[in-house]
Amino acid sequence: MSENQNATPDADDTPPAESASETCCGTSPSDESDCSGKPRRNFVVEFAAAAVGALVGIVPAAIGGLFFLDPLVRKGDKQADPAGNSEDTGGVVKDAQGFIRLTLGIDALPEDGTPVRYTVRDDIVNVWNKFPNQPIGSVWLRKIQDQVLAFNTVCPHLGCAVDHRPSEGDFYCPCHTSAFDLDGKPLNVIPPRAMDTLEAEVRDGGRIWLKYQEFRGATSEKVPV
C-alpha cells in the first residue's frame, strides 16, 4: 500500500515539484544549507495536509464543545418532571404552573389576619440527585376573608428577613429598619418597594397552594430572579 501511495496523483498538476525538491535537497544528507529555502510548493498536497490536519483537530474539539454546552442544548428537557406527583416518595406536590401545595390549610391561619410565618418546601433536583422536601424559603401568610395573602420574608431592601412586630402591628426588618404595614406597603423610605407578594390560591377544600419566587433586591421594580 505504501508503495502505491508514492505515485502522488497530484504530480500531474505540478510536475516541477518533484524535480525541484530533488535538485534542492538532493540525496546527500550533509548539504543542509542548500535546503534552507523551502522546496517548490505543491499546493494541492499542502491544502490537503492542512485540511486533514484541521479536520482531526476540529472534530473532537467540536464534539467536546457541544457536550459542554449541554445546559443550553437540553434546556426544558429536564429528566425529572417537576409536576410529577412524588408524594409517595416523601416529595412535595406541585402543579405544572409551579404552585406548591402547602401542608397548611387556610383554617390554620388566624381569622383576624395576623401573619403566620411558614417555611416553604420543595423537591430540589441537583443534576442526578433529588432531595425531596427541602426548605427553599419562608413566607408570611395572612388570611383575608377566604383568601390568602402571602409575602416573601426576604426584605426588598437588601435581603434580610423581615419580622412581624405584633407590638407595633407592622413588618419590620432588623437590619436596616425597613418597616411595612400588614398589607406590605412601606412605612418609611428605606425599602425601595413594597414587600413582595406571592401568588397564592385556596383550592380543594381549603388547601393553600403557593407559587414561591424570589426577587431582585434594592430595586423599585419587582423582578423575579
Partner 1 sequence: MIRSLLAWLDNRTGCNGLIHEALYEKVPGGARWRYVWGSTLVFTFVLQMITGIFLWTAYSPSAQTAWESVYYIQEVMFLGKIVRGMHHFAAQAMVVLLAIHLIQVIIDGAYKAPREINFWLGLVLMKIILGLSLTGYLLPWDQKGYYATQVSTKIMGATPVVGAQLQEVVQGGAQYNHHTLTRFFAMHAGILPGLLIGFLALHLYVFRRHGLTVHQPKKKPDTTFWPDQVLKDGVACLGVLAVVLLFAIFKGAELSPPADAAKAYAAARPEWYFLFLFRFLKFEAVEHLGLAFGAIYVPGALMGILFMMPLTAKMKAGHRFNVAFTWLVTFGIVVLTTMAFYEDANNEDHQAAIAEAERDAHRIKELASRPSMIPVEGAVSLLREDPFTQGPVLFAKYCASCHRYNGHNGRGVVLKQTDKDTKKVSTVIPEATDLANFGSRDWMKAIITDYGNHFSPLKDAQWYPGADDAEFNLDDSEMASASEEYAEAFTSPENANDLNALVEALVAMRGWKGDEETIDAKLVARGQQILDGEPLADGTEISSCTDCHDTIGSDFEITGEGYGYPDLAEYGSAKWLKAFISDPGSDQFYGAKNHMPAYADKMNSTDLDLLVRWMTGNYHETHVEDYPSRIPEVFGAGAQPAAPSADE
Rounded to an integer, what distance in angstroms lies between the CA atom of residue 2 and that of residue 6? 7
Q: Is-contact 141 200, C-beta < 8 A?
A: yes
Told to check if 53 binds partner 1 by CB under 8 A, we report yes
Site for partner 1 in 157-216 (CB under 8 A): none
Nearer to partner 1, 39 or 159 (CB): 39
Residue window 118-157: x/- pattern of binding to partner 1, with contact defined by CB under 8 A = -------x-xxxxxx-------------------------
Nearer to partner 1, 8 or 197 (CB): 8
Rounded to an integer, what distance in angstroms lies between the CA atom of residue 133 and that of residue 124? 8
Residue type, 112: D
Nearer to partner 1, 2 or 167 (CB): 2
The residues, any chain, with a CB within 8 Å of residue 142's CB and separated by 6 or more, are 109, 113, 114, 115, 116, 148, 149, 150, 182
Locate 74 and state its grid cell: 437540553
Nearer to partner 1, 22 or 199 (CB): 22
Told to check if 11 binds partner 1 by CB under 8 A, we report no
Number of other residues whose CB lies within 10 A of the CB of residue 40:
14
Containing H/E element for 183? none
Number of other residues whose CB lies within 10 A of the CB of residue 209:
20
What's the closest the beta carbon of residue 66 comes to partner 1, in angstroms? 5
Locate 160 and state its grid cell: 434580610
Told to check if 55 binds partner 1 by CB under 8 A, we report yes
With CB under 8 A as the rule, give the number of residues binding partner 1: 55
Told to check if 25 binds partner 1 by CB under 8 A, we report yes
Rounded to an integer, what distance in angstroms lies between the CA atom of residue 14 and that of residue 65? 39
Find residue 95's DSSP bridge partners.
none
Nearer to partner 1, 35 or 218 (CB): 35
Find residue 200's DSSP bridge partners.
210
What's the closest the beta carbon of residue 145 comes to partner 1, in angstroms? 37
Q: Which of 13, 16, 34, 50 binds partner 1 (CB under 8 A)?
A: 50
Told to check if 81 binds partner 1 by CB under 8 A, we report yes
Q: Which residues bind partner 1 (CB under 8 A)?
A: 1-3, 5-6, 8, 18, 21-22, 25-27, 29, 32, 35, 38-39, 42, 45-46, 48-50, 52-53, 55-57, 59-61, 63-70, 73-74, 79-81, 84, 86, 89, 91, 125, 127-132
